[in-house]
Amino acid sequence: MPRPVATERRSVLLDAALDVVVQQGLRGLTHRAVDREAAVAEGTTSAYFRTRRALHHALAERVTHRLADDVDEVVGDIGDGDPGRPEALACVVDLFTGWLDESPLLQAKVELTLESTRDADLAAVLARERERVVGLVASVLEARGSSEARPRASVVVAAFDGILLAALTSAPEERDGFVADAVRLTLQPLSRKDG
């Protein structure tokens, strides 16, 4: 079991790694860059994450886990209700606009997703949390009696990934309206019992 100090230090280093990715992209994510960003002695990051690949994987786990935890909370708020009702739509829109207002997690996820096309182990890390999110969305659809809840949930999650990417790359003043419309258009068809 990791010691608390080691866990805290890992957390500080991964927060610094997130900042480095936002500022410089995944190419700039080096042990030395994280040491500088975290204001720790040179060599500290490599003591916790032996290789760049290990650093990428740890950051991917942290980013995707935090995003999935947020989804879990929203699914809890929606419960077994209608995902197309105004309150449920508002929960999802609030989640997405919150992520977009503090976009480092999304930016890092995009960078890591692109890198995962060249790294099967990294792809597996991302897939694990994606499956968790698909399962959460499927639970809402199953509660509504949706046929093929899991495949539908997979499509909804993919659509949401696309919505977030489009919003991330759009002008900030257009984001909220776009996200609200896109979430409504994606979720309202699921309001029907057989949807």
pLDDT at 115: 94
How far is residue 58's CA from residue 53's CA, in Å, rounded to a whole number?
Answer: 9
Q: Contact, 180 vs 88, CB < 8 A?
A: no
Asked if pLDDT for residue 4 goes beyond 70, the answer is no
Asked if pLDDT for residue 92 goes beyond 60, the answer is yes
How far is residue 77's CA from residue 87's CA, in Å, rounded to a whole number?
Answer: 9
Query: Between the CA atoms of 88, 184, 139 and 64, what dihedral angle is there, to the nearest 10 degrees?
Result: -90
More confident position, 73 or 85: 73
* Tokens found for residue 49: 């994450």
Which tens digits make up the pLDDT trace of 145-156? 877 889 999 999
The proportion of the chain whose per-residue pLDDT surpasses 90, expressed as a percent, equals 76
Q: Contact, 89 vs 97, CB < 8 A?
A: no
Mean pLDDT of the chain: 90
Give the predicted TM-score (pTM) of the model.
Answer: 0.86
How far is residue 188's CA from residue 99's CA, in Å, rounded to a whole number?
Answer: 22
The proportion of the chain whose per-residue pLDDT surpasses 70, expressed as a percent, equals 94
pLDDT at 56: 95
Q: What value does the mean pLDDT take over residues 33-61?
A: 96
